A = this chain, B = another copy of it.
Amino acid sequence: MTTAKRTGLSSASLATVAAKAGVSISTVSRVVNGQTHRASAETVEKVRQVIAEVGYRPNHVGRSLRRQESRLVAMLVANLDNPVMATIAASTEAALRDAGYVMFLCDTHDRADLQDDYLYAMRSHGVQGYVLVACVPSPGLKEFSEGGVPIVFVSRRNPCGEGAFVGIDNIRAGADAADYLWSQGIREAAALYPLQGSTVTRDRAAGFCDRLLSLGVPSDKILRLTAPGLSHKDVGYLAVRDLLTAGRQWPPGIMCVSDQIAYGVYRAAREANVVIPDDCTVVSIDGNALNAWLAPWLTSICVPHGDYGREVVELLLSLWNGAGLSERILQHQLGLPTQLQVDIPLKSL
């Protein structure tokens, strides 16, 4: 029990079972691993009995060391507190579990040094794959992406080289947002994005502006608003507040590169007595499930974050099987604000 307290391991080991069953460790091991044809029926039966009796479960640490395979995967996320990341983490965890793997979860707080710390720590733990959600460039990442253990990049492509990838076409998502505003009769709009953004936010903003231009909106009617950002909510809030402070008009259409930015806009609008959607149509990209409940004023392009996990695991499996790097571009979809997406049967009370 003292041992169990320190180690976290059940006390029963192969040796315990072997002794109780009066057979060798090898034999127990074979039974545990399903090689029942390698022992007599009685032996198998006896061993199984003892296993059940003492509640034996194989120790993964010993097994990992011997097999040189841990069945462990590390997920590094930029910020677990962000609902987008949480959804991706949840779906990946479920998919890994179904495939027989266990997930380490590491929150890098968008910091290159922490990302590297985790990369090395996870290697020490013998993980067989990495899932990097919205990673940042770092020396360690460069080293790791040059070979060795498979890495799947999610949302954001490898900033330090090539890599397998799961995400959407951000340029098209931005363009679709532009089409939506255009379809609403809007001929003047602002794109809101973080100042120190990644390719993701830049692509979304670029796709939006380019499409408006090609629809014939003059470039002086396309505002590019940005703010330095701790969080995206702050970015949205600051970008439009500064616009007002500068004495400019609130634009009739706004595209936010993330839902969080739109939430910031909403707060700024409230403070400025601007009514959304009456005075201004807001469209964003992400499609947080909460929007249908809390933000009926928002139209959002839905990104299927809940499907990412399945794709990530399929990609990992293919990489383990020796396949080359590949990309999985999932389809986004415009979600209309009035169309509540959850259908609830009336059956209570």
> What residues of chain A have their CB less than 8 Å away from a CB belonging to chain B?
1, 3-10, 57-62, 64-65, 68-70, 72, 79-81, 83, 86-87, 89-90, 93-94, 97, 102-107, 109, 120-129, 147-149, 195, 227-228, 233-234, 237-239, 241-242, 245-246, 263-264, 266-267, 270, 290, 292-296, 340, 342, 344, 346-349
Contact = CB atoms under 8 A, between A and B. Distances in A.
Given A93-B80, A294-B295, A346-B241, A57 B227 contact: no
Contact of A238 (B6, B58, B147, B346): B346
A99 to B, nearest CB: 13
Contact of A267 (B59, B87, B228, B292): B292
Contact of A344 (B81, B94, B238): B238
Q: Which of A8, A9, A80, A293 is most buried by chain B, counting CB atoms within 10 A of its CB?
A: A8
B293 A267 contact: yes
B293 A264 contact: yes
A345 to B, nearest CB: 9
Contacts of A72: 8
Contact of A69 (B6, B65, B124, B293): B6
A349 B94 contact: no
B294 A1 contact: no
Given A80-B86, A83-B86, A6 B58 contact: no
A328 to B, nearest CB: 21
Contact of A80 (B65, B89, B102, B125): B89
A274 to B, nearest CB: 14
A348 B245 CA distance: 11
Tally of this chain's copies = 2
A267 B338 CA distance: 11
11 contacts: A7-B69, A7-B128, A8-B148, A61-B125, A104-B104, A195-B348, A238-B344, A238-B346, A242-B348, A242-B349, A263-B290
B90 A57 contact: no
Nearest to A231: B342
A121 B149 contact: no
A94 B86 CA distance: 15
Nearest to A1: B147
B102 A7 contact: no
B344 A57 contact: no
Given A242-B346, A263-B290, A105 B105 contact: yes
